[in-house]
Amino acid sequence: MLNLRFQPSKIPHIVVVGDIIVDHYVWGVSERLSPEAPVQVVEVCEENYRLGGAGNVADNLVALGARVSVCGVVGADEAQVWLLARLAQLNIHAQGVLVDPERPTCKKSRVMISKQQVLRVDRESRHAISPALEQEILEIATALLDQADALVLSDYNKGMLSARLCQTLIALANQAHKPVLCDPKGKDYSKYSHATLITPNKREAQIATGLEINNDARLQQALEHFKQTFHITIPLITLSEQGMAFLDHGNLVKIPTIAKEVYDVSGAGDSVIAALAFCLALGFDLHQACAFANASAAVVVGKVGSAHATYAQVLEFLQRHYYQGQKILDRATLGHILHGAQPKRVVFTNGCFDLLHRGHVYYLQEAKKLGDILVVGLNSDSSVRALKGPKRPIQRQEDRAFVLAGLECVDFVVIFEEKTPLELIRALKPHILVKGGDYQGKEVVGSDLVDEVVLIDTLEGRSSSRLMQKIQGLVCKPSSKPNS
């Protein structure tokens, strides 16, 4: 299971080398056929541009929170002007984006009607870039690799990634013990030899291996072919609506898709390799990285056009669709989920919850009714001792959190170390702060940070202190049994 923990202390630097594409979208409506030919007449409503190819990989990495440098070749045209401006806007290091006036910037224009693509027009050159440009790209990428955590080779078969360039960069990354991930194209995968990971889709894998992948045995055979023939450390094949598959110590592992709605699959492969590179650069294991990448792709295909998934969107998706039982989260991770969620009313309350009783359950159920998401801030063991003395808590924080997470009305539990939840409230930004009715007329910590403070009356005669007194009375009561 993927451990949902955000690592804010490290921002990975990832170098992307490959074919940079401008995706041009023409959005329109069509209500009639042309009198000139049996084709639709499209009335244009809107046009926009997005990064595609290696640019889309870079865009996805930025959305996840990485620092990105990109290397590629563009033309001296209008598309190049927009592309460089967009890279600058995203703070993507673009020193390695070189201009070749002899070739156009690769541009794909798509005509969209009612979220459906009806036509695509490509402007591109598939000829290999010049030896001089290749050498300059190599020198820039080599320098960038010194400070990078991972390398991505994004191959769209537009002449950018030659065998020499790929093999030189892969060797450099391997020498520096940095993962190198390749999104391959074509039949000959020898130029990706010794890469850490490759991500062909099923159709690409069939072309490269000559195998018809129609069952698990053939799927494993294709993966083993990549590993044995090209010495790929982690051969992986994306399977569209069936998820993805990879080899783990010779065993076939399949991760099923979790996409609920599919509007557009364009860019999903870019999202997958970006997510894998991000996770491997942070030190996630392969299973964690694949689960995260699978969720990232699911978010992307639920959008129209080349799109990206933010870290918060991926975490929220995993929480909703994949790991619904994982309620106990750290402050940073929960903050990312809440801030990346669709507009929802977040209710927050806090306490020690040392001995959970009916009064607690009633209070939490009433709190949940006030909004969409109920977050319980739980005082840590040290925090409880500071508030209630050295004999408390009775139960460890892990046990108290587990019991709270078992309540249907509780969506998330987060443990905090401070005496008050002020900093936790500041980080999570809830809309409603809930306290017990005994706070009437008292100052409520964090009340200035929320939209509303609600006091809920507690049930008469139900309290942890009263319950503990009763238990202590039973333990201390002298036995009436005669001495034997």
Query: pLDDT digit string (tens) for 60-75?
Result: 999 999 999 999 999 9
For the chain, the maximum distance between any two Cα atoms, rounded to a whole number of angstroms, is 111
Of 100, 183, 264, 270, the catalytic one is: 270
Among the residue ranges 8-17, 125-134, 277-286, 368-377, the one predicted with the least confidence is 8-17
- The tens digit of pLDDT for each residue in 162-171 reads 999 999 999 9
Place of tokens 């969409």: 372
Alpha helices, DSSP H, located in 324-449? 331-340, 358-368, 381-388, 397-405, 422-428
Mean pLDDT, to the nearest integer, of 28-53? 93
Tokens (6 digits) for 234: 């982690």
Confidence tier at 484 by pLDDT (50, 70, 90): very low
Q: Which amino acid is at 124?
A: E
- Separation between Cα atoms, residue 109 and residue 223, nearest integer Å: 34
In whole angstroms, how large is the CA radius of gyration of the chain?
28
> Whole-prediction pTM value?
0.72
Tokens (6 digits) for 276: 């894998």
- Bigger pLDDT: 243 vs 207: 207
Q: At what angle do helices 78-89 and 54-64 cross, to 10 degrees?
A: 20
C-beta separation of 51 from 23 below 8 A: yes
Neighbours of 434 (CB within 10 A): 26
Does residue 270 carry a catalytic annotation?
yes
- Separation between Cα atoms, residue 305 and residue 263, nearest integer Å: 9
